[in-house]
Chain A
Amino acid sequence: MASEMLRIATAGSVDDGKSTLIGRLLYETKSIFEDQLESIERTSEKRGDEQTDLALLTDGLRAEREQGITIDVAHRYFATPKRKFVIADTPGHIQYTRNMVTGASNANLALLLVDARKGVLEQTRRHALLSSLLRVPHLVLCVNKMDLVDYDQGIYDEIREEFTQFAARLEITDLGFVPISALEGDNVVTRSPNMPWFEGQPLLGHLEDVHIASDRNLVDNRFPVQYVIRPQSAEQRDYRGFAGTVVGGIFKPGDEVMALPSRRRSRIAGIDTPTGSVAQAFPPMAVTLLLEDEIDVSRGDMLCRPSNQPTANQTFEAMLCWFDETSSLRTDIPYQLKHTTKWVAAEVEALRYQLDVDTLHRDLEAGTLEVNDIGRVAIHTSSPLFFDTYRLNRTTGSFILVDPATNLTVAAGMIIGAAGEPAGETAAAVAEAPVATNITFHPSKLTREERWGALGTRGATIWLTGLSGSGKSTIATAVEHTLISAPVPQPAFVLDGDNLRHGLNANLGFSDSDRAENVRRVGEVARILAEAGTVSLVSLVSPFRADRDRVRAIHEEAGIPFYEVFVDTPLEECERRDPKGLYAKARAGEITDLTGVGSPYEAPSAPDLVTDPDLEIAVRQVIGLLE
């Protein structure tokens, strides 16, 4: 009986028939109990309805029944032999948009209803936009009340066409259409004889078949630590487990992990779950990770792979939906922000623009966001968050804002990226971006100044040389990260000697001539990238002075800044760290010609910089070269 769960949210304007449709689905799948049916029959009779109002199945509050509208989300459950369904029936009324968003935030699929007589309304567009911003992966537009328009294909086609055009400006990955009558049951569970012209599946068939295999991110390992389990009992004294929910990637025992913000590393010693130890943990499992080393980790920290970390930053850009009726967005007071398992103080530094939900126009002059408004903001937090873009991960990319005066959840946000990053908004917003019309490029004659000026960037090559294990790659990666996540991002790219030996330099060994060729190739690639506007961060042992000097020469010839940086970590220290086990192998005689052991290293005679042993200082030193 174990089966996949599909989470559905309804959407659409008030009275378009959402609750009726859910009632119909429940009724026809025999998911309504006799006493529930009797109860709504009685209510309908008392109210003088012509027929039993199936919307009463979800409109359970007194106020909803009195007014005949939905005010808050109702959750209903049903199953067919193929699947289990959790339905969130949401309100269409604009006043309750926050409740619609509540229902849609976890949905796999949104059912967007349109009244065939009224067509696409502002609220239809608002809900389509919200579904797209929330990245609900599937959307089905149900053209409802077809019984009231004589099941006219022309009307259906028109609405379908109009909505398709609007949707093209949003990011909707999967869009389907069904003409239905929720009241009469046409095309809900069975194919309607009233609309023989419709060739698609009835709604339920579509819901049963839609492929939801992976809305999850199984690539980027992310584990926000929720709770530290430390039994005080004698027999469990040494147990220290990090409990939480896996929100990205696949964790396995033996994996190297890094804890943020401490950046300390360890390995996974074991994974405990409610049902014993397991060999892997993936979203949305709730597990307890045991680490090999006693490193300092607590709630709000993030475990990830050292080679694949989320962005750590105190400022970022986000799309924000404002919910609170009693206040509007202010840039002069701190809010409380919850992101994964962490609360921080946060200020909204700037409102970039407000998005008109109807036209998708961006109002750059907007001064604030009021209830139900959507806009792009820049946020600054009291301590760094470890986030991904919402596009990459719905959990590490989302947050809520709480007003500390009232404790109300006043807004929800979806992270676009670190400050200044242009990517990640809805296609709509991108489509609206001003197109530069006054610059004509002559492709063959484009100068470096024109290129760099237009892109707002400056290329350069930073050449980090030093022994194996001296920390070149760590510095290079940290610099890359800092440059890219800066308020005005600077394109940067790490060219790592080891990595390049897997591809570009796969045919080279460690003889002196091969080493020279290795350095030449990397030097050329660095120059080309820099020419294109990127800061090339080369991390290469490059032991010979002459090879490095040649690289400097080709840069000088091209007029591109070149900085030689000496990561001067003493051999003993490199050997003590021995991250790749190379020194051990060399001492054991398993490899010969390791730089520093069996092969010489020629230190630079006039480096542009000798780095400080402290990583943070080193990063600042390197960035200082560029300024």
Chain B
Amino acid sequence: MRAAGVELSDLATLEAESIHILREVAAEFEHPVMLFSGGKDSVLMLHLARKAFAPAPVPFPIMHVDTGHNFPEVIEFRDRVVAEHGLRLEVASVQERIDSGRIQVGHELESRNRHQTVALLEGIQQNGFDAVFGGGRRDEEKARAKERVFSFRDRFGQWDPKNQRPELWNLYNGRHKKGEHIRVFPISDWTELDVWRYLAQEEVDLPSIYFAHEREVVEHEGLVMAVNEFFPLPDGAEARIEMVRYRTVGDATSTGAVRSTATDYHSVIEETAVARVTERGATRGDDRFSEAAMEDRKKEGYF
């Protein structure tokens, strides 16, 4: 049977599936929280959450795992979004934990990627969150490609990739015991291109660093790094001013930019459609430790 006008576009379908997941969690869990980094995936996720519950406000707080190594534009964006939409923001601070001695660091500018896990898990535990929305997408990385939408975490926040719950149809099983929690990935099935097309269609505001701008950069171990307090110019290297934008937003100590002239959505989409390198491959120092770097970090409780 084929009735007129009952086809949904791919983006509308993805949107509907994500909203279903968001509502399911809001209905079944006592204390959900949404991770919000200010990156495009968390911006998308938050935008979907606002739509899922409109005209009521988003019925859960957001949490930022703050490494202290952020791009200032991103923090400014975060605070603006929180104020604009009247959201409740929790900050799980890595810096605070370093200052209080809970986290040991070798030197001030070393990667805080692994330390994020500690802050994240403590933030979850201290607030008693039982469901944690993450903006992970399966197209990002090979370990993420393996994860369920509802992903069970034991008391230590750990993921067991060899023992995931079956997940059929859209019947999600979020049951867990006290102290355990569920990571929920409502945008699992979106690709990088889908995200850009949708954000453009919805005219969603993003941190300015996602669009091409001039910046002082230096090429370092295959990444285009912005030179600033978090990434001082290495000895003997030479900085240049170039037009760049970011494809992902992580720590300023380890996230690279890409050379680009795309200053608006339309041109970013064009560039994304012909990109030959994955977003993480192009920009993330932290994923390069080993072949299974992401899987290992996820097992420990990473996003």
| A254-292 vs B, Cβ < 8 Å mask (1 yes, 0 no) | 000000000000000000101000001010111000000
In the bound complex, do residue B52 and residue A243 qualify as a contact, i.e. CB atoms below 8 Å apart?
Answer: yes
- Of the candidates A226, A233, A250, A274, the one whose C-beta lies within 8 Å of that of B3 is A250
In the bound complex, do residue A229 and residue B53 qualify as a contact, i.e. CB atoms below 8 Å apart?
Answer: yes
Task: Pick the interface stretch among B12-20, B61-69, B95-103, B204-212.
Answer: B12-20
Which residues does chain A contribute within 8 Å of B7, judged by CB atoms? 4
In the bound complex, do residue A400 and residue B168 qualify as a contact, i.e. CB atoms below 8 Å apart?
Answer: yes
The yes or no answer to A1 lying at the interface (CB within 8 A) is yes
In the bound complex, do residue B10 and residue A5 qualify as a contact, i.e. CB atoms below 8 Å apart?
Answer: yes
The yes or no answer to A230 lying at the interface (CB within 8 A) is yes
Q: How far is the CA of A233 from the CA of B171 in the complex (A)?
A: 32
Contacts A5-B13, A400-B168 given; indicate if A407 touches B146 (C-beta within 8 A).
no
Which residues does chain A contribute within 8 Å of B296, judged by CB atoms? 62
The yes or no answer to A388 lying at the interface (CB within 8 A) is no
Q: How far is the CA of A272 from the CA of B51 in the complex (A)?
A: 10
- Of the candidates B20, B26, B56, the one whose C-beta lies within 8 Å of that of A286 is B20
In the bound complex, do residue A398 and residue B2 qualify as a contact, i.e. CB atoms below 8 Å apart?
Answer: no
Which residues does chain B contribute within 8 Å of A213, judged by CB atoms? 2
Q: Interface centre among A62, A98, A280, by most B CB within 10 Å?
A: A62
In the bound complex, do residue B146 and residue A61 qualify as a contact, i.e. CB atoms below 8 Å apart?
Answer: yes
Which residues does chain B contribute within 8 Å of A404, judged by CB atoms? 175
Which residues does chain B contribute within 8 Å of A572, judged by CB atoms? none
Q: How far is the CA of A274 from the CA of B54 in the complex (A)?
A: 8
| B237-279 vs A, Cβ < 8 Å mask (1 yes, 0 no) | 0000000000000000000000000000000000000011110
In the bound complex, do residue A227 and residue B27 qualify as a contact, i.e. CB atoms below 8 Å apart?
Answer: yes
- Of the candidates A101, A299, A336, the one whose C-beta lies within 8 Å of that of B168 is A101
In the bound complex, do residue A2 and residue B52 qualify as a contact, i.e. CB atoms below 8 Å apart?
Answer: no
In the bound complex, do residue B166 and residue A284 qualify as a contact, i.e. CB atoms below 8 Å apart?
Answer: no
Shortest distance from the beta carbon of B290 to any chain A beta carbon, whole Å:
10
In the bound complex, do residue A61 and residue B161 qualify as a contact, i.e. CB atoms below 8 Å apart?
Answer: yes
In the bound complex, do residue B168 and residue A398 qualify as a contact, i.e. CB atoms below 8 Å apart?
Answer: yes
Interface size on B, residues (CB 8 A): 65
The yes or no answer to B88 lying at the interface (CB within 8 A) is no
The yes or no answer to B232 lying at the interface (CB within 8 A) is no
Which residues does chain B contribute within 8 Å of A75, judged by CB atoms? 138-139, 145, 188-189
In the bound complex, do residue A60 and residue B9 qualify as a contact, i.e. CB atoms below 8 Å apart?
Answer: no
In the bound complex, do residue A60 and residue B143 qualify as a contact, i.e. CB atoms below 8 Å apart?
Answer: yes
Which residues does chain A contribute within 8 Å of B168, judged by CB atoms? 101-102, 105-106, 398, 400, 412
Q: How far is the CA of A65 from the CA of B295 in the complex (A)?
A: 12
The yes or no answer to A573 lying at the interface (CB within 8 A) is no
The yes or no answer to A117 lying at the interface (CB within 8 A) is no
Which residues does chain A contribute within 8 Å of B12, judged by CB atoms? 285
Which residues does chain A contribute within 8 Å of B155, judged by CB atoms? none
In the bound complex, do residue A274 and residue B51 qualify as a contact, i.e. CB atoms below 8 Å apart?
Answer: yes
In the bound complex, do residue A1 and residue B176 qualify as a contact, i.e. CB atoms below 8 Å apart?
Answer: no
Q: How far is the CA of A250 from the CA of B6 in the complex (A)?
A: 9
Question: A410-438: which residues lie under 8 A (CB-CB) from chain B?
Answer: 412
Interface of B is mostly: loop
Contacts A2-B9, A412-B168 given; indicate if A33 touches B23 (C-beta within 8 A).
no
Which residues does chain B contribute within 8 Å of A226, judged by CB atoms? 20, 23-24, 27
Task: Pick the interface stretch among A34-42, A171-179, A591-599.
Answer: A34-42
In the bound complex, do residue B278 and residue A74 qualify as a contact, i.e. CB atoms below 8 Å apart?
Answer: no
Which residues does chain A contribute within 8 Å of B27, judged by CB atoms? 226-227, 299, 341
The yes or no answer to B292 lying at the interface (CB within 8 A) is yes
Question: B1-50: which residues lie under 8 A (CB-CB) from chain A?
Answer: 1-3, 5-13, 15-17, 19-20, 23-24, 26-27, 48
Shortest distance from the beta carbon of B276 to any chain A beta carbon, whole Å:
5
Which residues does chain B contribute within 8 Å of A33, judged by CB atoms? 275-278, 281
In the bound complex, do residue B15 and residue A338 qualify as a contact, i.e. CB atoms below 8 Å apart?
Answer: no
Q: Interface centre among A34, A219, A323, by most B CB within 10 Å?
A: A34
Q: How far is the CA of A61 from the CA of B144 in the complex (A)?
A: 10
Which residues does chain B contribute within 8 Å of A250, judged by CB atoms? 3, 6
The yes or no answer to A231 lying at the interface (CB within 8 A) is yes
Smallest Cβ-Cβ distance to A64: which chain B residue:
B146
The yes or no answer to A301 lying at the interface (CB within 8 A) is no
The yes or no answer to B220 lying at the interface (CB within 8 A) is no
Shortest distance from the beta carbon of B208 to any chain A beta carbon, whole Å:
26
The yes or no answer to B236 lying at the interface (CB within 8 A) is no
The yes or no answer to B177 lying at the interface (CB within 8 A) is yes
- Of the candidates A5, A72, A239, A408, the one whose C-beta lies within 8 Å of that of B55 is A239
Shortest distance from the beta carbon of A340 to any chain B beta carbon, whole Å:
8
Q: How far is the CA of A395 from the CA of B54 in the complex (A)?
A: 25
- Of the candidates B3, B139, B277, the one whose C-beta lies within 8 Å of that of A77 is B139
Which residues does chain B contribute within 8 Å of A309, judged by CB atoms? none
Shortest distance from the beta carbon of A238 to any chain B beta carbon, whole Å:
11
Q: How far is the CA of A307 from the CA of B251 in the complex (A)?
A: 58
| A464-498 vs B, Cβ < 8 Å mask (1 yes, 0 no) | 00000000000000000000000000000000000
In the bound complex, do residue B162 and residue A63 qualify as a contact, i.e. CB atoms below 8 Å apart?
Answer: yes
In the bound complex, do residue B6 and residue A218 qualify as a contact, i.e. CB atoms below 8 Å apart?
Answer: yes
The yes or no answer to B235 lying at the interface (CB within 8 A) is no
Smallest Cβ-Cβ distance to A398: which chain B residue:
B169
Contacts A34-B277, A245-B20, A274-B19 given; indicate if A214 touches B2 (C-beta within 8 A).
yes
Q: How far is the CA of A98 from the CA of B164 in the complex (A)?
A: 10
Which residues does chain B contribute within 8 Å of A399, judged by CB atoms? 171
In the bound complex, do residue A243 and residue B1 qualify as a contact, i.e. CB atoms below 8 Å apart?
Answer: no
In the bound complex, do residue A2 and residue B11 qualify as a contact, i.e. CB atoms below 8 Å apart?
Answer: yes
In the bound complex, do residue A323 and residue B10 qualify as a contact, i.e. CB atoms below 8 Å apart?
Answer: no
Smallest Cβ-Cβ distance to B173: which chain A residue:
A409
Q: How far is the CA of A273 from the CA of B89 in the complex (A)?
A: 27
Contacts A33-B277, A34-B276, A244-B23 given; indicate if A102 touches B9 (C-beta within 8 A).
no
| B219-241 vs A, Cβ < 8 Å mask (1 yes, 0 no) | 00000000000000000000000
Smallest Cβ-Cβ distance to A5: which chain B residue:
B10
The yes or no answer to B191 lying at the interface (CB within 8 A) is yes
In the bound complex, do residue A60 and residue B142 qualify as a contact, i.e. CB atoms below 8 Å apart?
Answer: yes
In the bound complex, do residue A231 and residue B23 qualify as a contact, i.e. CB atoms below 8 Å apart?
Answer: no
Which residues does chain A contribute within 8 Å of B143, judged by CB atoms? 60-61
Q: How far is the CA of A214 from the CA of B56 in the complex (A)?
A: 34
Given pairs A58-B142, A60-B141, 20 additional interface contacts (CB within 8 A): A33-B276, A33-B281, A61-B292, A62-B295, A72-B164, A74-B142, A75-B138, A75-B188, A76-B145, A105-B169, A226-B20, A233-B55, A284-B20, A286-B19, A336-B175, A338-B171, A338-B173, A339-B171, A395-B170, A400-B171
B residues contacting A by CB (< 8 A) are 1-3, 5-13, 15-17, 19-20, 23-24, 26-27, 48, 51-57, 138-139, 141-143, 145-146, 148, 161-162, 164-171, 173, 175-177, 188-189, 191, 197, 275-278, 281-282, 291-292, 295-296
The 4 closest A-B pairs by CB, nearest first: A60-B142, A35-B281, A274-B51, A2-B9
- Give 23 pairs: A residue, B residue, CB < 8 Å, sorted on A: A5-B10, A5-B13, A34-B276, A34-B281, A60-B295, A75-B189, A76-B138, A98-B166, A102-B167, A213-B2, A219-B1, A226-B24, A227-B23, A227-B27, A230-B56, A236-B55, A245-B170, A250-B3, A274-B54, A282-B6, A285-B12, A336-B175, A400-B168
